[in-house]
Structure 1
Amino acid sequence: MKSLVLTLALIEIFSIIHLVRPQNQDGFISLDCGLSVDESPYTDPDSGLVYTTDSTLIQTGKSGRVDKAFDKLQIKPYLSMRYFPEGLRNCYGLNVTRDTTYFIGAMFLYGNYDDLNTYPNFDLYLGPNKWETIDLEGSKNGTWADIIHIPRSSFLQICLVKTGTTFPFISAIEIRPLKNDTYGPLPGSLSNSFRNYFNDSFGNIR
């Protein structure tokens, strides 16, 4: 019963990420963090999204992979990760379109990649501003952070900051341009507070 509960929890988390096949991926950034160059790019069979390696966007960190027990969940974009055993702050540098409204998402699935069975805790930053604290102890089956943001320049940084003894890591980054009137012209960013689905189906939702 315990394994069933854990599996259902994973399905609940990933259902907000998996989606019906998109018709147009112009402006999309879909990064499978830690993916080897030889495997990039690839099309995720569940979503139809084309994922690429993050290796050209960050010069630090090392590649890791979750325990093989997670393979049966068939969540390819989140099976690998980039972890950061050195430095307090490690940042991705991303080219974006200035003054465009973006949905920005980051996925974190620990999956005991280091065989230490110690769930990491660290901070996530968008540029100089703290976005969220990532605490995997409270989300042992993975967690997702998302934000709606309008960059004021053509360069965006997503940073992982070490705050304790465990190493920061990241599984995937997804950036999607939105219509600029989707959430109005207010300055600043909109961070997700919570999300509920009133649906009795296990179908994928976007």
Structure 2
Amino acid sequence: MDGHHRLTAALFIVTLSVLHLVQAQDQSAVFLSLVGFISLDCGLPTNESPYTEPLTGLNFSSDSDFIQSGKGARVGQDWVYAYKQYNALRYFPDGIRNCYNLSVKQGINYLIRAGFAYGNYDGLDIYPRFDIYIGPNLWTTVYARFQIDNEIIHMARSSILQICLVKTGTTTPFISTLELRPLRNDSYSTQTGSLQHVSRWFYKNSGDLRYFNSEQFSYMPNSSNI
């Protein structure tokens, strides 16, 4: 009987191990089936799209397929940025709320990065201030005094993700770049809400900075429960 019990226990353990492996493989398969990076150079003319950003090697495309409103522009001659995607932008002189519609997979975590470089594109030399929303929920307020990037990890609740720029005063909302990165759901865990980027530390024994793969992110739960 002892031998029989040991054999039964061993088979049970093997079965659990196989089930765990299958579950892990299923999760990996779901992740790998997702579309890879989405990197939009907002306001880029379609005849200049796509292109490979020379400093990072990332492929950027025009945002024209993801939004119908707004107008394209380029930063002023005195404001040329090293990263190409910040030299064009889309601004929104009409309406209060203008939204991007991005196709995503429901239930998957995404890193969303929105970049803003005013560059005095309109010659007014007035730094815009406006809000960004994820769907109906406030993400953050942008004050574009400098080139800035806002990042958040957000779980998609439907197959369409809306990123909206909302006018809150007299200045005109704009956006330079919008990037989406699918993540494994075990990368950052949160029971509710989204994870807002707080700060980043980069440790390396040389002065060279690598893009994305070398970044170390620190996030905290967003109390707005986006």
Please list, as runs of the form range in 1=range in 2, the aligned pairs for 1:35-184 lying within 5 A after superposition: 35-71=44-80, 73-136=81-144, 140-184=145-189
- Asked which structure has the greater RCO (Cα within 8 Å, sep 6+), the reply is 1
For the residue of structure 2 that corresponds to 1:192, the secondary structure is strand
Quick check: which one's helix share is greater? 2
Q: Following the alignment from structure 1 to structure 2, what is the Cα–Cα distance between the partners of residues 111 and 185?
A: 36
Deviations 1:127-162 (A, max 9, x none): 1100000012xxx32111000011111100000000
Deviations 1:51-88 (A, max 9, x none): 110111111100111012233x4311110000000100
CA 1:118/1:41 → structure 2, altered by over 3 Å: closer, same or farther? same
Q: Following the alignment from structure 1 to structure 2, what is the Cα–Cα distance between the partners of residues 67 and 185?
A: 42
Task: State the TM-score, normalized to the length of structure 1.
Answer: 0.81
Alignment RMSD, CA only? Answer: 1.7
Q: Flag the structure with larger Rg.
A: 2
Q: Structure 2 regions of 5+ residues with no counterpart?
A: 1-33, 213-226
Q: Following the alignment from structure 2 to structure 1, what is the Cα–Cα distance between the partners of residues 160 and 105?
A: 8
Task: State the TM-score, normalized to the length of structure 2.
Answer: 0.74
Partner residue of 1:187? Answer: 192
Partner residue of 2:16? Answer: none
Q: Following the alignment from structure 2 to structure 1, what is the Cα–Cα distance between the partners of residues 149 and 194?
A: 17
Identity of counterpart residues, as a percentage?
Answer: 51
Deviations 1:4-41 (A, max 9, x none): xxxxxxxxxxxxxxxxxxxxx94211000000010011
For the residue of structure 1 that corresponds to 2:198, the secondary structure is coil
4+ runs of 1 displaced by more than 6 Å? Answer: none
Deviation at 1:196, TM superposition (A): 3.8
Deviation at 1:187, TM superposition (A): 2.9
CA contact (8 A) 2:79 2:120 kept: no
Q: Following the alignment from structure 1 to structure 2, what is the Cα–Cα distance between the partners of residues 126 and 143?
A: 18
Letter in 2 for 1:203: L
Q: Structure 1 regions of 5+ residues with no counterpart?
A: 1-24
For the residue of structure 1 that corresponds to 2:207, the secondary structure is coil
Deviation at 1:188, TM superposition (A): 2.0
